[in-house]
Amino acid sequence: MLTEVTAVRYVTPLREGGSLPGLVEAVDDGASGPPRAAVPTGSAASPAPYVLKFTGAGQGRKTLVAEVVCGGLARRLGLRVPGLVGVRLDPVLGLGEPDPEVQQLLKSSGGLNLGMEFLSGALGFDPLAFAVDPLEAGRVVWFDALVNNVDRSWRNPNLLVWHGDLWLIDHGATMIWHHNWPTAPAASARGYDASDHALAGYRPDVAAAAAELAPLVTEDLLAEVTADVPDAWLADEPGFDDADAVRRAYAEALLPRARSIHERITLEGATP
């Protein structure tokens, strides 16, 4: 389960994001017990800032499930990703918001939303200004191949540079197989075309990354990762009895893929 905090102020929309994520301030009011995540949770005296991804956004709740599964997996594999929390939102917060689009989003997102630690002052990744070594590039490409991330191209890298390090954000467009579970075994067995990947030109050492990271992706680890997804975002999935059955489906798609995806990554055509 994610640590939960309560939004106390909607600050501003992050205009760059297609799903209109927003910056909010939130506090840990103790309702979800002691913090479990390594994320600063804020207090009544000093609320903490989060990037909020709304359940009411057009992309739907599966985007949020993907963020939780991939963010949790990346963090456990030692990749840099912002910490995640659940953010309780009272739609009343939107009443003073002048932008009708934002007001609508807040209105339709009452209840639990997804919050990400805000990397204040982070810069967008610029390949001309930032060097990435082949080992790190390999880890990122291998991870993106594992979760089938189609949103890390050089056009839209979804990488930030914060305090001199590379951070991964935006894992909503991953695991395409969760949009059609009956075909998931076949879809999750397919390869990954990384020729357009933002780090394809850094000579990614995918073999080294696979040797290091694949053995870490175990049934236990995936059970831990999927346990963080709130039940409400998994409920009523056609073909499944309950939320735990959906959690197992995520794990069953990723476990075999971790063993062999390095053999099916295409890097041809990437410019060094």
The least CB distance from residue 122 to Mg ion, in Å, is 13
The least CB distance from residue 14 to Mg ion, in Å, is 9
Integer Rg of the chain from CA? 18
Residue (of 176, 178, 150, 14) closest to 82 by Cα position: 14
Phi, psi of 87 (to 5 degrees): -120, 115
Residue 221 as a binder of ligand ATP (CB under 6 A): the answer is no
- CA 231 – CA 247 distance, rounded (Å): 9
- CA 236 – CA 70 distance, rounded (Å): 22
**Which position among 158, 174, 188, 226 is part of the footprint of ligand ATP (CB under 6 A)?**
158
Q: CA end-to-end span of the chain, whole Å? A: 41
- With respect to Mg ion, which residue has the nearer C-beta, 8 or 23? 23
Residue 194 as a binder of ligand ATP (CB under 6 A): the answer is no
Instruction: Annotate 224-247 with three-state secondary structure.
Output: HHHHCCCHHHCCCCCCCCCHHHHH
The least CB distance from residue 214 to ligand ATP, in Å, is 26
Would you give the binding string for ligand ATP spanning residues 124-153, x where CB under 6 A is met?
A: x--------------------------x--
Binding to ligand ATP, residues 222-241 (CB under 6 A): none
CB 105 within 8 A of CB 54: yes
Total binding residues for Mg ion by CB under 5 A?
2
Binding to Mg ion, residues 136-165 (CB under 5 A): 158
Q: Which helix (H) or strand (E) holds 9?
A: strand 4-13
**Which position among 13, 17, 127, 134 is part of the footprint of ligand ATP (CB under 6 A)?**
17
The least CB distance from residue 225 to ligand ATP, in Å, is 19
Residue 67 as a binder of Mg ion (CB under 5 A): the answer is no
Label residue 101 exposed, middle or buried (CB < 10 Å: 0-12, 13-18, 19+).
exposed
Q: 243-260 vs 219-227: helix axis angle to the nearest 10?
A: 140
The least CB distance from residue 261 to Mg ion, in Å, is 23
**Which position among 51, 70, 166, 209 is part of the footprint of ligand ATP (CB under 6 A)?**
51
The least CB distance from residue 203 to Mg ion, in Å, is 25
- With respect to ligand ATP, which residue has the nearer C-beta, 14 or 255? 14
| Positions that interact with Mg ion (CB under 5 A) | 158, 170
